[in-house]
Structure 1
Amino acid sequence: MTYSEPVGITAFGCGRDEAARFRELAPRFGVTSTITESAVSEDNVRLASGNRCISVGHKTPITPATLRALRRAGVSYISTRSIGYDHIDVDYAGRVGISVENVCYSPDGVADYTVMMLLMAVRHAKSTVRRADVHDYRLHHVRGKELRDLTVGVVGTGRIGTAVMERLRAFGCRILAYGNRAVESGRPGPPGAPGGPGASDDPGDEVSLDELLTSSDVVTLHAPLNAGTYHLLGRARIQRMKPGAFVVNTGRGALIDTVALVAALEDGRLGGVALDVVEGEEGVFYADRRNAPIDSKPLLRLQEMPNAFISPHTAYYTDRALSDTVENSITNCLEFESRNQHV
């Protein structure tokens, strides 16, 4: 591709390894890069001056005021280094003249982590490790479960959900699937509904959401967060789940009504949860909070429970995903400029 003007990108919210990868890859694509550790805000949009494209992380919401400030600075394209873009009001961005796209990265890291969390949940790993750390080596009072004896319901059958199902087949468990097109519409899909873009040709037994919830020993969430999927697992749906079932979430925290989830754990309705994402994680995850108060009572309560395993939104955090997100952010920018170089 050739351009009448140099192509530049400003990368906001970069960690040290992301910054190093931008500096390594941008020159290979003929792109100049401006890189900052700070998340994009009204106060630093000047760093985008001269660049129509910016790259942002998923950790900090981008406010309407920041979007307006970016547009005034000449930005017309945002590539978010994430699959989800619920941290950006995409419709509002469009109204002020900014296009927003996400990136694809290898689904394998999140899929691997999901299976790890699932195994930890059904084998009571949190309480076992906690006791061993204080030299209490007694066995858990409840025996663990083997995956070949379980039915696992996968909600969302895009690239990550499909990769999870591929791994689960090796364990011999029964797989139920609720596909992406139904998930994204927020409506239950009929049996046999297609799984959506990136889905496997053999997605497992495709069922309605109600059937998946009532039949699954484990439910794992891989749906995008949008108006239709907010609190996809609310109080009523959690009550319809099998007694003693487990929930795994490596998607987005707000897919689950956390207050209802805590209640179901406290009354013994659910057997346990493994959550890499939690509603209200913003401002808590990715920070050292050892000596700072945490306002989220549901999060604090979950972390007290022996059958609730919590990790800080880290399933995506692999070397391969880093390379993919940075490279695809750059190529997204180049493709945008290719489409709009004469505009």
Structure 2
Amino acid sequence: MKKIFKFDSNGLTTVIAMAQIIKLLKISSKARFAFVASLILIVFACNKDREQDREENLVITSPAPLTDFGYGTFRGYTGGLYPNGSNIRPINHNSAGIAIAKSIKPLNISGSTDESNGKIVWMSVGMSNTTQETSAFIPIAQAYSGKNQKLLLVDGAEGGQDIVKINLESAPYWQTVNNRLTAAGVTALQVQIIWYKEAEIAPRDTAFATYPNSLKDKFALSMQMLKSKFPNLKLVYLSSRTYAGWATGTLNPEPYAWYSGWAVKRLIEDQINGVSSLNYTGAQPQSAWLSWGPYFWTEGTKPRDDGVTWGLSDYQTDGVHPSNSGRLKIANMLFEFFSTDPTSTPWFLKQ
């Protein structure tokens, strides 16, 4: 009998053994079938529980996409884009974002609602990769017949302007941003949505224990500055870096590209957890509502769960800046996100 009831990894032995046993019992074939079917369901449910236990105990030992962690941990930290290893926004945070999105209306140059002549301004903020990717995204969005005609897309990113440079109130970067808004016929008071993608030039701290938090603190300062410079800013969508394993220099190689995802994740989690410096409600908000935009990182040509890969041909010769194919890949991911996410469809799509 011990051999009959021996369990293997998927429970199949048990099912077969029990089926053999009930053949010896004088019960109807209908009852026999029902018994075996019930047993199969029970065994599969047990296997599913064991599989989840294995996933919860999974220890990831090398960089992997945050979106692919499942229940795994890296040095004690859960992955996922949001708290508790999830890639889905918490219900309350998502609901708040949808409500804010629905409140967005066209504004005139003075920042007042103007349904007839106003604009809803979306702007990118960041460094060279960001401006190159924005330049590929805007034509795709502009050509889309379902885009909100009141939505104006502005490339506010500039090459060489890393997080350290733009975090200065008087940085020349901000004058460049104002000049671009002026050239587009709008003002800072009309900016309500920002796509933010930043990095640090030639960082030196390679420690996972310290660098992501250091970068997160810089991002937090930047979120406060954005709210100060653009008083009507309501939504900020953040993306971290693409894979940088092809980098040939020290501009921003791995592991910093991967670390930037952790920095964004922790920044957004801070707001979700109620950190006051990132408050987006009340009479004196310190920040806009924050969310992940598209997440780009995966380990080069190794496909992540949704199939995204980064090959050498997606980069320029420095292995950091995107080639035309890399820009188009990012642009399409941006378009897919903004045209489908429940916090962006109210203002991105034609109503």
Q: Please state which structure has a larger fraction of its residues in helix.
A: 2
Q: Please state which structure has a larger fraction of its residues in strand.
A: 1
| Structure with greater Cα Rg | 2
Provide TM-score, normalisation by structure 1.
Answer: 0.34
Provide TM-score, normalisation by structure 2.
Answer: 0.33
